[in-house]
A and B are shown apart, each in its own frame.
Chain A
Amino acid sequence: MTFRDALGQAMREEMHRDDRVFLMGEEVAVYQGAYKVSKGFLQEFGEMRVVDTPITELGFAGVGVGAAMVGLRPIIEFMTWNFALLALDQVVNVAAKTLYMSGGQFNMPIVFRGPNGAALQLAAQHSQAWESWLAHIPGLKVVAPSTPYDAKGLLKAAIRDDNPVMVLEGEMLYNTKGDVPDDDYTIPLGKAELKREGEHCTIVTHGKMVLVAMQAADSLAKDGINLDVVDLRTIRPMDVETIATSVRKTNRAVVVEEGWEVCGVGAQVVDYIQRDCFDDLDAPVVRVHQADVPMPYAKNLEKAAKPDLAKTIAAVKQVMYID
Chain B
Amino acid sequence: MATKKKSDEKAVQRPADKKGNGGAGGNGTGPSTEVRGDAKLRQELLRSMLLQRRFEERCAEAYALGKIGGFCHLYIGQEAVSTGTLSMLRPDDYVITTYRDHGQALARGISPRAIMAELFGRQDGTSHGKGGSMHIFDAKTNFLGGHGIVGGHVPIATGVGFAIKYRGGDQVCICFMGESVVNTGAFHEALNMAGLWKLPVVYIIENNRYGMGTSLERASAIHDIYERGAAYNMPRAQCDGQDVFAVRKAVGEAIDRARKDSIPTLLEVRTYRFMGHSMSDAVSGTYRTKAELEEHMKRDPIALLRHTMQDGAEIDDAWVQKLDEELKAEVQAAWDFVELLHPCVVEDLWKDVLVETTSQEHTSTPG
Q: Hey, which bits of chain A sit against chain B, CB under 8 A?
A: 17-20, 22, 48, 53-54, 56, 58-73, 89-90, 93-94, 98-107, 109, 138-139, 141, 157, 159-163
Interface residues on B, range: 35 or more
Q: Are B127 and A105 in contact (CB under 8 A)?
A: yes
Main secondary structure of the interface of B (DSSP, over half): mixed
**The 4 A-B residue pairs with the shortest CB-CB distance in the complex, in nearest-first order:** A66-B159, A62-B155, A59-B189, A103-B127
Q: How many A-B residue pairs have CB under 8 A?
A: 170
25 A/B residue pairs, CB under 8 Å, sorted by A: A17-B362, A56-B189, A60-B193, A62-B190, A63-B159, A65-B159, A66-B96, A66-B156, A66-B163, A67-B160, A67-B163, A69-B156, A72-B166, A72-B167, A73-B359, A89-B149, A99-B353, A99-B355, A103-B125, A103-B129, A103-B137, A106-B145, A161-B358, A162-B358, A163-B354
Given contacts A62-B190, A100-B130, whether A105 and B358 have CB atoms under 8 Å apart is: no
- Residues of chain B within 8 A (CB-CB) of A48 are 165-166
Tell yes or no: B162 within 8 A of A by CB. Answer: yes
**How far is it, in angstroms, between the C-alpha of A162 and the C-alpha of B354 when the chains are bound?**
8
Q: Is the CB of B352 within 8 A of A100?
A: yes
In the complex formed, the residue of B with least CB distance to A64 is B159
A100 to B41 Cα, complex, angstroms: 37
Among B131, B155, B164, B185, the one with the most A-chain Cβ atoms within 10 Å of its Cβ is: B155
Cβ A56 vs Cβ B192 within 8 A: yes
Q: Does B81 sit at the interface, judged by CB under 8 A? A: no
Give residues in B with beta carbon < 8 Å to A.
94, 96, 125-131, 135, 137-139, 142, 144-149, 152-167, 185-186, 188-190, 192-193, 196, 351-355, 357-359, 361-364, 366
Pairwise interchain contact B358-A18, C-beta atoms closer than 8 A: no
Q: Are A66 and B158 in contact (CB under 8 A)?
A: yes
User: Does the CB pair B355–A107 fall under 8 Å?
Assistant: yes
Write the nearest CB–CB distance from A186 to chain B, whole angstroms. 9
Chain A residues near B361 (CB-CB < 8 A): 17-18
A181-B161 Cα distance, complex, nearest whole Å? 38
Which residues of B lie under 8 Å from residue A19 when comparing CB positions? 362-364, 366
List A contacts of B164 (CB < 8 A). 70
Q: Are B137 and A59 in contact (CB under 8 A)?
A: no
Closest Cβ of chain B to A129, distance in Å, is: 24
Partner of A65, one of B130, B156, B185: B156
The answer on a CB contact under 8 Å between A59 and B130 is no
CB distance from A93 to the nearest CB of B (A): 5
Q: Which residue of B lies closest to A48 (CB)?
A: B166
Given A17-B361, A18-B361, A66-B157, residue A98 in contact with residue B185 (CB < 8 A): no
Chain A residue nearest in CB terms to B135: A101
Interface pair A100/B144, CB less than 8 Å apart: no
State which of A18, A61, A70, A160 has its C-beta within 8 Å of the C-beta of B163: A70
Residue of B at shortest CB range from A99?
B352
Q: Report the minimal beta-carbon distance from B232 to chain A, rounded to whole angstroms.
A: 11
Q: Taking the nearest CB of chain A, how far is it from the CB of B92, in angstroms?
A: 11
When chains A and B are docked, how far (Å) is the Cα of A41 from the Cα of B117? 48
A48 to B162, CA, bound (A): 9
What residues of A have a CB within 8 angstroms of the CB of B142 in the complex?
70
**Are B160 and A70 within 8 A (Cβ)?**
yes
B148 — which chain A residues lie within 8 A by C-beta?
Answer: 93
Could you tell me if B137 and A90 are in contact, using CB atoms closer than 8 angstroms? no
**Please, which residue of chain A has its CB at the minimum distance from the CB of B131?**
A101
What's the nearest-Cβ distance from chain B to residue A315, in Å?
Answer: 34
Known: A99-B353, A106-B144. A94 touches B362 (CB 8 A): no
Contact A102 B156 (CB under 8 A): no
State the CA gap A107–B358 with chains docked (Å).
11
Whether the pair A105, B149 counts as a contact (CB closer than 8 A) is no
Q: Report whether A109 and B359 are in contact in the complex, using a CB–CB cutoff of 8 Å.
A: yes
> In the complex, which residue of chain B has the Cβ closest to the Cβ of A66?
B159
Instruction: Out of B137, B144, B155, B160, name the residue touching A58 (CB < 8 Å).
Output: B155
A25 CB → nearest B CB, Å: 13
Complex Cα gap A70–B192 (Å): 21
Give chain A residues whose Cβ lies under 8 Å from the Cβ of B190: 59, 62-63
A48 to B163, CA, bound (A): 10
A68 to B359, CA, bound (A): 13
Residue on B nearest A17 in the bound complex, by CB? B361
In the assembly, what is the distance between CA of A66 and CA of B161, in Å?
8
**Roughly how many angstroms separate A73 CA and B165 CA in the complex, as a whole number?**
14
If the complex has contacts A62-B156, A93-B152, are A54 and B196 also in contact, measured as CB distance less than 8 A? Answer: yes
**Closest residue of A by beta carbon distance from B123:** A103
List the B side residues contacting A17 at CB < 8 Å: 361-363
Question: A61-B155, A89-B152 in contact; A101/B127 too (CB < 8 A)?
Answer: yes
User: Contact at A18–B363, with CB atoms within 8 Å?
Assistant: yes
Q: Within the complex, what minimum Cβ distance (angstroms) separates B366 from chain A?
A: 8
| Chain A residues with CB below 8 A from B152, complex form | 62, 89-90, 93-94
A20 partner residues in chain B, CB cutoff 8 A? 359, 362
Which of B96, B125, B127 lies at the interface centre, i.e. has the most chain A CB atoms within 10 A of its CB? B127
The minimal Cβ–Cβ distance linking A96 to chain B, given in whole angstroms, is 9
| CB–CB A69/B135 < 8 A | no
Taking the closest CB of chain B, its distance from the CB of A67, in whole angstroms, is: 4
A67 touches B128 (CB 8 A): no
Is B158 a contact partner of A62 (Cβ separation < 8 A)?
yes
Which residue in chain A gives the minimum CB-CB distance to B171? A70
Pick the contact of B155 from A59, A68, A70, A99 — CB < 8 Å? A59
